[in-house]
Amino acid sequence: MRRPIIAGNWKMNNTRTDAKALITALVPLVADAEPEVVVCVPFTAVETVAAAAKGTNIAVGAQNVAWADKGAFTGEISAAMLKDVGAEYVIIGHSERRQYFGETDATVNLRAVQAIKNGLKPIICVGETLDEREDGETERVVSSQVRGAFEGIAEGMLANVVIAYEPVWAIGTGKTATAEQAQETVAYIRKVFASLYGAALAQKTRVQYGGSMNPANAAELMSKPDVDGGLIGGASLRAEEFAKVVNYKGAAI
């Protein structure tokens, strides 16, 4: 059985003071949670949040990682730096990175390799735009992204990898894929992953849904057999709302 994983993506929100207040409020609300709980926070808040979450069941992650160990890469943060301030997870290839900052399948691959080599657990994002879905291109797009992300990465390096299916058309728009749409695409992602690494590893690898999961739809989405968790955006910025997603079995729908 794959343990569910609910990860909050705070995006570019919260100063260190705000971050400490949010994590302090969240800790008691998810203390008995069944899923693994992760918060992926801005670089400036990683150390603060890691300190506040120490000794709890909340893991801390970052939202990006450099593809190099060190060097002349102004503005980048290395995997070793993230480990040094307490990061355990890192989001790689989020659609906003692809859309606004030129992220490609090739750079996602390079960043994933760096994360894995340095003991970070990558949450690798894939997903199609609205135009691609309407043109019937969903499977082609996510297959290409999965294959690109894992190019040249050996099976033995993938024990801690998480994949997040985030339909771009459902991120921050208020639109959400139906539970059936989410299941269909997540199952296809698992099928592509199995074609690369075999069915056994594919059945062990967690695949999240990342398109506007919230307290109202979390239980239905999580009821699908291939949906192993959520990558939560806006709802993760409010402790009580995020906790309802984490505790989805008790959340009202």
Write out the residue range of the structural domain in which residue 185 sits.
5-119+133-234+242-250
Q: Which residues, 6 or more positions from 87, have their beta carbon under 8 angstroms from its beta carbon?
A: 46, 50, 60, 61, 62, 120
Neighbours of 107 (CB within 10 A): 18
| Residues marked as catalytic | 94, 166
| pLDDT one-digit tens code per residue, 35-54 | 999 999 999 999 999 999 99
In a domain, 163, yes or no: yes
CA-to-CA distance for 123 and 88, rounded, in angstroms? 11
Mark the ranges of the chain whose per-residue pLDDT is less than 70.
Answer: 172, 174, 251-253
In a domain, 125, yes or no: no
Tell me the CA end-to-end span of the chain in Å, nearest whole number: 25
- Split into its structural domains, the chain has a count of 1
Residue with tokens 């639109």: 175
In a domain, 205, yes or no: yes
pTM confidence score: 0.95
Q: What is the CATH number of the domain that holds 99?
A: 3.20.20.70
Sequence-ordered alpha helix ranges (H) in 102-234? 105-117, 130-134, 138-149, 179-197, 199-204, 218-222
Q: Give the pLDDT of residue 28.
A: 98
Q: Give the pLDDT of residue 252.
A: 44
In a domain, 38, yes or no: yes
